[in-house]
Structure 1
């Protein structure tokens, strides 16, 4: 490159350096304000709440609304998520339990929602995540609730029935599965593939087409599958990028999931009720989840759903689970658009409560932003 050609490039690099200095200064100023917020909250006494799900959702939505590119809205929001996470850590690091071990998609969902400055702690089972949060050892928990191709996670739904915890948020994670092996693996001698049962199901067609004779072995998590492969020479694992990096594995094939839009929805659980994140310009910003027990009578489901239709409330999910109170009795898990403090929602909940055996509000929370 000639000296003449270098001049415009040098000028652009100087401009980038100036912008970086300005960005650094502004982030530092924001961090100082976050420290002042912590001081005010601590001085107010009582149990100060540092993490506010509705506030973070409002900030991220505003960033996406104001973004003019060239970075897309989600990329810009992810940058601000990490800034907010780092600033919140100056106030009080958020401690989050997740369904472990390390390297699972649930941990990836926790970091996507809370940012990389959150302290994430693995738990061996979903009910352990609930117990740790209920006991106050962890402020929040992250548990899977449904997959777009394999359906609902029943263990999570059942855990809500006898729990006092509230749903504080949701996060949807695009799931990419990769076939991977260790450095010492003899790829032409692979006889088994490890993964979680749901991941094996989500990659069933690909495996049948490309590795029909290989034994499929279900283990407790994709991260456990990656850990096992690390010490074996004749096995492979199906897992995500996080597990691959954690255990130093290599990709044999990538994005082997059968459904191109394969996604999993995770719930954030905590001890607090979350105020509405809606504004005058964005009133449908929240969701509410409830569980309803109905008497086993003809027309029960129709009667349950009629108030939602009457008040024009959008149902986003309904699941049925057997009730533990009697044979052939059922409970309904329902998600719908709106916040428990919305007048229309209150009308519906009062009407449902008038004829249901039991109504339990699992939480109102911001719709997933990222």
Structure 2
């Protein structure tokens, strides 16, 4: 029979392992500094999305347990965030304030060591990346229930920015308040979307309680932090940011609700391994012009995963098409096809070639 170790012995072993971890982490940080100096000499960007995804997947596949994969990925997300900060601080802008789903997406993907700066609207994000020196921006492109954020597609037409990577965030809402229970709630505040997404739950559990709209879930959380009879609907992290109690979790009416976010930068991704491309194009006004583009892509065996049209601002009855393709259009094998597409289109812009994120998986 195996002898059970006493608690002091187990804690001493943990202390020894912690010392080994610190040594290993600092050794890794030294190598990261060397990587940063190498990139600086060659004017290479710090953020390398495919390399980070590759490292994450390799670690997850080689993890024997008992540490859960989700925890391992969270730990290494912060290690990579710290490494980037050591190599060269980069500013990432997002739709603020703190506590919005854009903020959560930025933290999930970039880690807490990233220099995050909130912006008031989408255009400010695009302008900061294109003209004001921000290295990266995080913007929502589409929601699995509500569709594409049209303004973001329009801004790709206006600003010369490029997609660096993508991520999917599950949209889950909690009810939070300074109060200890539902019986104390006299008002529910939030952005209109969370209120609509939790309508059935609110009707069932807080019938007759007024629902008031705010500019953001973060703004509603500030009100809830000031009055005990107000509750806010939003991401659970608002509770930690504003000192609120979580009265109910996962109150959304449709639990399988995801938002796809894009990370944008001022220049294209220069990594060798990329597996997804997004393009924006307009077409001449003649019969079969769209069919010609689709047939050209199909002839190369390229799978199109998204095709959406938007009114072309400034020109009546003209449309711009946003398309996702399961390929790397930067490869030499597609050069002639891309030239052919440019001849067929009135305008064509490659928004980015980047690593595809698994759908239904966060981070």
TM superposition score normalised by structure 1 = 0.88
**Structure 2 CA distance for aligned equivalents of residues 48 and 347 of structure 1:** 28
Q: CA deviation at 1:228?
A: 2.0
Could you say what secondary structure the match of 1:164 adopts? coil
> Which of 202, 219, 228 is the matching residue for 1:224?
219
Could you say what secondary structure the match of 2:5 adopts? helix
Aligned to 2:342: 353
Q: CA deviation at 1:355?
A: 1.2
Q: CA deviation at 1:141?
A: 0.7
Unmatched segments (≥5 aa) in structure 1: 279-284
Segment of structure 1 superposing worse, 140-149 or 294-303: 294-303
**Structure 2 CA distance for aligned equivalents of residues 245 and 348 of structure 1:** 51
The answer to whether the 8 A contact 1:134-1:271 is kept is: yes
Q: Structure 1's 186 and 173: CA in aligned 2 closer, same or farther, altered over 3 A?
A: closer
- Write the deviation string for residues 168-209 of structure 1: whole angstroms up to 9, x where unpaired: 1111111210111224x8844644322222222322332333
The answer to whether the 8 A contact 2:182-2:206 is kept is: no
The answer to whether the 8 A contact 1:187-1:234 is kept is: no
Q: In the alignment, is residue 315 of structure 1 matched against residue 313 of structure 2?
A: no
Q: CA deviation at 1:101?
A: 0.5
- Runs of 4 or more consecutive aligned structure 1 residues displaced over 6 Å after TM superposition: none
Aligned to 2:284: 295
Q: CA deviation at 1:262?
A: 1.4
- Write the deviation string for residues 283-340 of structure 1: whole angstroms up to 9, x where unpaired: xx52111111123444343333222222221222222111124322211111111222
TM superposition score normalised by structure 2 = 0.89
- Write the deviation string for residues 51-101 of structure 1: whole angstroms up to 9, x where unpaired: 222322222232233333333444322222211211221121221111001
Could you say what secondary structure the match of 2:328 adopts? coil
**Structure 1 CA distance for aligned equivalents of residues 168 and 62 of structure 2:** 23
Could you say what secondary structure the match of 2:260 adopts? strand
**Structure 2 CA distance for aligned equivalents of residues 213 and 345 of structure 1:** 60
Unmatched segments (≥5 aa) in structure 2: none
Q: In the alignment, is residue 162 of structure 1 matched against residue 158 of structure 2?
A: yes
**Mapping 1:1-370, distance limit 5 Å:** 6-7=4-5, 12-42=10-40, 44=41, 47-183=43-179, 187-188=182-183, 190-276=185-271, 278=273, 286-343=275-332, 345-368=334-357, 370=363
Cα RMSD of the aligned pairs, angstroms, is: 2.4
**Structure 1 CA distance for aligned equivalents of residues 275 and 23 of structure 2:** 34
Could you say what secondary structure the match of 2:354 adopts? strand
Q: CA deviation at 1:276?
A: 4.1
Could you say what secondary structure the match of 2:308 adopts? strand
Q: Structure 1's 220 and 297: CA in aligned 2 closer, same or farther, altered over 3 A?
A: farther
- Write the deviation string for residues 331-364 of structure 1: whole angstroms up to 9, x where unpaired: 1111111222224544443332221111111111
